[in-house]
Homo-oligomer: A and B are copies of this chain.
């Protein structure tokens, strides 16, 4: 008899922070974990988001027994509207808050499956050969879980985003006992969040923010304006608690915050009385010192409420001297410049701005630091470990931690992005690669923008475009009937006319010189691209994209 072999694949790619989606495949059964969106990198011009690549699943749909979500963050659930319609009748499971957040979101789409089954921690669920049990952990959103996945090939602890917060705001402790018991029962492989592996010590408790807000609100003479990630329900709760205590009414600016707080309130996870809230348009009728604003846009997202406020373009709010803006957040890599520009703008408008470069304790991470990561290893006593949810440098730091705990190098798995993991009673290790690529979403298009299009966008972005329309005599392709050049994003118009006139002249000369030698439209195009490109580079040291269009008359 063959030994059963479990295959684990990351459809968003290993070594990524976002786009979380994992396949657990054993013979005729597949279990999916999470279905998150990813953020485009800087060179992915014009792209709205990334989603996991499910082409691996295309011919295996009938094997999928279920999709389990670990928690309610967008990078673990945000790709559902794109992917769920392709998963036919696959049942989806999640803890109470994530289940409700997702159902709320899916209700905005037409023809979308909308049922998410509640999977409470401690209630094992049988999905084919998989026994899946969720375990309560702490993170920056309530009802977050890790998963114990038992299979005939071995037991895997799926340690999605977590930290050990021993004084959580909602008083729900991580279920350390269950993790220890899992360790006693035997864990073969631990997949562990590694994003915080560069930080020493433990990640501080969310509760430490209470003191920070108390201190910041105490000397605020105007509006008290707080921003953090929209999904950070615990943080909003802390800000509201302190606002209420200090006699301020609360207004929310940002659709995503409203949605998150609505769902959390409905489930009793946001115990702030409705009477504490006012509508945004009422703000101007209250004294600024009686107001607290929860505002979206802590990462300076374009078009966000905070960006509009900072550019004095917000319908209901403005900055007055005495107002204070608290950034209860860290910079997400890539956003630093934009956030700092926002801080400059808010300062210019007269706000006192409080941010992590000048004040400590404004933010705590939802991800465990080195001691948290070591503790999960110690509890699960896994034979093998595999860092997830971080980039390669975080994986390397996690590997260093594991080694300090006695793991030999072969027991720390560091896969390439598209490598599979194999788990069997005989062997746990890296397996063959699978085809996983970035799937880009741009407007309504999913996957219709690839590397070629991005390369063109990069070229257009840096150098602009010159369109050359050549009307040629079909009987003599070197006889020009008409010639027009149009440029965009290349040179300033007032300088460009003489340059473009010279360029036209250049094209005309070249075509005429080639009399009798132009074989086809295509040949004419090649001639234009080559010679015009060289001419423009000599004149400007730039290489605009040249688009020749030949019209034969």
State whether A445 and B542 are in contact (beta carbons under 8 Å apart), knowing that A357-B198, A453-B492, A484-B551 are contacts in the complex: yes
A318 at the interface (CB under 8 A from B): no
Q: Which of A521-553 contact B (CB under 8 A)?
A: 539-542, 545, 547, 549, 551, 553
A273 at the interface (CB under 8 A from B): no
Please tell me if the beta carbons of B452 and A461 are within 8 angstroms of each other in the complex: no
Please tell me if the beta carbons of B442 and A542 are within 8 angstroms of each other in the complex: yes
> CA of A15 to CA of B341 in the docked complex: distance in angstroms?
11
- Interface 1/0s, chain A 441-453, versus B by CB < 8 A? 0111101111011
Please tell me if the beta carbons of B491 and A448 are within 8 angstroms of each other in the complex: yes
Q: Chain B interface: which of A82-90, A154-162, A209-217, A330-338?
A: A330-338
Q: How far is the CB of A340 from chain B (nearest CB, A)?
A: 6
**A545 neighbours in B (Cβ, 8 Å):** 488
Q: How far is the CB of A351 from chain B (nearest CB, A)?
A: 10
Q: How far is the CB of A368 from chain B (nearest CB, A)?
A: 16
Residue of B nearest to A340 (CB): B333
> CA of A447 to CA of B540 in the docked complex: distance in angstroms?
12
Please tell me if the beta carbons of B463 and A46 are within 8 angstroms of each other in the complex: yes
Please tell me if the beta carbons of B456 and A489 are within 8 angstroms of each other in the complex: yes
A41 at the interface (CB under 8 A from B): yes
Contact of A541 among B443, B447, B492 (CB under 8 A): B443
What 18 additional pairs, Cβ within 8 angstroms, besides A46-B461, A456-B464? A15-B344, A41-B341, A46-B462, A46-B542, A333-B340, A443-B540, A448-B492, A450-B492, A452-B493, A453-B492, A457-B460, A457-B461, A458-B461, A465-B465, A467-B549, A469-B551, A486-B549, A549-B549
Contact of A551 among B353, B396, B453, B482 (CB under 8 A): B482
A392 at the interface (CB under 8 A from B): yes
> CA of A221 to CA of B521 in the docked complex: distance in angstroms?
60
> CA of A353 to CA of B399 in the docked complex: distance in angstroms?
14
> CA of A347 to CA of B42 in the docked complex: distance in angstroms?
21
A172 at the interface (CB under 8 A from B): no
Contact of A484 among B337, B447, B549 (CB under 8 A): B549
Please tell me if the beta carbons of A391 and B344 are within 8 angstroms of each other in the complex: yes
> CA of A462 to CA of B338 in the docked complex: distance in angstroms?
18
A60 at the interface (CB under 8 A from B): no
